[in-house]
């Protein structure tokens, strides 16, 4: 997409690439700028490259994570924190690293990179894996503080707002993607991995394979978007994946987020809307329509019912029946004699 090559990041590999390029008589532009891993491109900072010992430990740590069958995103996240930590501790031997070094790194990372609480928790999880993988170090994971989870309620759109976003989306492929994200309650990663063979229109079911937690599940296809799906298929004629980029590969989640922001703005909606907002809205609207929460849990692919229970805090089915004491007081006044008219 960006006419670039990607290499798996480590300092030794990067130095070898620079040597190779120089040997071929080529020149690196902006060579004085230190290259940093892609997971931290938001902030510019300088950390010294890994030495050979730490590079070896880091590479073996990645193999350890792969052996635990963690997802690619988890490996990238945990590996990113550990390589950053190893660079932060500079030349200090890995065997001498302890929880004080971890605390200094976390304090620096939270302050410098403005990490959220969820990212902070991911860092601590990464160090738990690392301490178990490399017991020769002096890191006592029990002495590392794990912050509590935020109790934030999800942003939910009204059904009218969802329909308005779909209406304002003029591109047929983009409109189909938004309708599928909401109509089936999909994660954006699940949608871009959907294949044509995953659709069962006779049973109105969608087979979600290898979703979060390596779980398969079935979810529903909204019957009302069948004509939209047929129109999309006839127009774009995808070969393998349900949504494909112009070259036939998987569609980019960044592209989906970008056009969803444009459609939201065109609809005049000021809420922050992401693909996951549509999934939250799907679950909330199902609950408001009276669908049993156990079925919603199955449709969303949640492992624990507690995860699905968050939507009971945002549903308006019961809240709409509760009257404010201000409404009650004014209603009583309106039923009394005319002397209260001025007050009203």
Is 47 in contact with 87 (CB distance < 8 Å)? yes
Active-site choice (121, 128, 168, 212) = 212
In this structure, are strands 199-200 and 205-211 parallel, antiparallel, or unpaired?
Answer: antiparallel
Active-site choice (54, 87, 280, 302) = 302
Active-site annotation holds for 302: yes
Active-site annotation holds for 279: yes
Report CA-CA distances (Å) from 201 to 174, 207, 219, 220, 236.
21, 11, 12, 10, 19
Quick one: which of 282, 283, 277 has its CA closest to 311?
A: 283
Query: How is 187-202 classified by DSSP, letter by letter?
Result: -HHHHHT-BGGGEETT
Opening angle at CA 15, ends 10 and 21, nearest 5 = 125
Neighbour-count burial of 153, counting CB atoms closer than 10 A to its CB (0-12 exposed, 13-18 middle, 19+ buried): exposed
Active-site choice (193, 279, 280, 285) = 279
Neighbour-count burial of 278, counting CB atoms closer than 10 A to its CB (0-12 exposed, 13-18 middle, 19+ buried): buried
Active-site annotation holds for 311: yes
Active-site choice (187, 193, 280, 285) = 187
What are 218's strand-pairing partners? Answer: 207
Cα distance between residue 226 and residue 22, in whole Å: 56
Is 39 in contact with 81 (CB distance < 8 Å)? no
Q: What are the strands of the beta sheet with 205-211, ordered from one edge?
A: 199-200, 205-211, 215-220
What's the distance, CA 323 to chain centroid?
A: 37
**Catalytic residue ranges:** 187, 212, 276, 279, 302, 311
């Amino acid at each position: 997409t960006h006419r670039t090559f990607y290499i798996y990041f480590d300092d030794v590999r990067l130095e070898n690439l620079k040597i190779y390029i120089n040997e071929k008589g080529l020149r690196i532009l902006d060579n004085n700028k230190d290259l940093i891993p892609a997971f931290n491109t938001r902030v510019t900072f300088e950390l010294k490259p890994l030495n050979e010992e730490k590079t070896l430990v880091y590479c073996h740590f990645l193999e350890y994570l792969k052996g635990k069958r963690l997802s690619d995103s988890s490996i990238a996240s945990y590996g990113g924190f550990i390589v950053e930590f190893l660079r932060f501790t500079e030349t200090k031997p890995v065997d001498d690293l302890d929880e004080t070094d971890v605390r200094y790194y976390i304090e620096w990372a939270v302050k410098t990179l403005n990490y959220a609480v969820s990212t902070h928790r991911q860092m601590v999880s990464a160090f738990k894996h690392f301490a178990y993988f490399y017991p020769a170090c002096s890191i006592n994971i029990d002495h590392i503080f794990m912050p509590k989870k935020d109790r934030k309620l999800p942003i939910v759109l009204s059904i009218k707002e969802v329909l308005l976003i779909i209406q304002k989306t003029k591109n047929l492929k983009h409109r189909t993607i938004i309708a599928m994200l909401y109509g089936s309650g999909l994660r954006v990663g699940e949608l871009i991995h959907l294949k044509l063979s995953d659709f069962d229109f006779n049973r109105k079911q969608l087979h979600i394979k290898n979703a979060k937690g390596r779980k398969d599940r079935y979810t529903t296809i909204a019957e009302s978007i069948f004509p939209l799906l047929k129109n999309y298929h006839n127009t774009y004629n995808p070969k393998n994946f349900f949504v494909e980029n112009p070259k036939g590969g998987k569609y980019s989640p960044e592209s989906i987020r970008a056009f969803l922001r444009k459609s939201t703005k065109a609809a005049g909606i000021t809420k922050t809307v992401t693909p996951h907002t549509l999934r939250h809205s799907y679950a909330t609207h199902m609950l408001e329509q009276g669908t049993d929460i156990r079925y919603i849990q199955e449709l969303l692919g949640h492992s624990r019912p507690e995860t699905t229970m968050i939507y009971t805090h945002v549903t308006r089915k019961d809240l709409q029946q509760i009257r404010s004491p201000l409404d009650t007081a004014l209603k009583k006044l309106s039923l009394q004699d005319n002397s209260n008219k001025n007050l009203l």
